[in-house]
Amino acid sequence: MTDQTDSRADDFLRPPASPGGLQLRPLSSGSYALLHRTRNAFVVPQGEDYPDHLSAALEYAYIHGAPLRDVLLAAHAKPEVFRAEVFRFAETLPVSLIRDIIREVEHGLTAAAEQSVDVLPRPGSDDRDAPPNS
């Protein structure tokens, strides 16, 4: 097998992330949408300001580690409510976990980016290529 195939096989066999006993759900389509909704610095460009990656890592840990119902409620509340919930959750996390959480973010984003594809129109599939009587 090639290195890339080995790497992909390893990804399939990767156990669920639980840094320091904290069970993290995987970066999924739903959690990615939540990261966007909460304007997380890892997935939303922050403009001129230098993004606060530490806060972004803690938000990531909250979205993937707190009970899903609580996360959904907080993400649909005002931004200050969401930040307060993240802060309360982060208070329970040892600082030493930050590195493992960042590794999880790295793995999730990199693996997803590697699998992302755009669809190319096939020749003749455009409406303009259709017969005039169609």
State the residues that interact with other proteins by CB under 8 A: 11-12, 25-32, 42, 51, 53-54, 57, 68, 95-96, 98-99, 102, 105-106, 108-122
> C-alpha distances in angstroms, 131 versus 37, 53, 122?
43, 54, 16
Q: How far is the CB of 133 from other proteins (least distance, A)?
A: 25
Based on CB atoms, which residue is closest to other proteins, 57 or 82?
A: 57
Cβ(64)–Cβ(25) below 8 Å: yes
Task: Measure the CA–CA gap between 54 and 63, rounded to whole angstroms.
Answer: 14
In angstroms, what is the minimal distance from the CB of 3 to other proteins? 16
CB of 41 to other proteins, least distance (A): 9
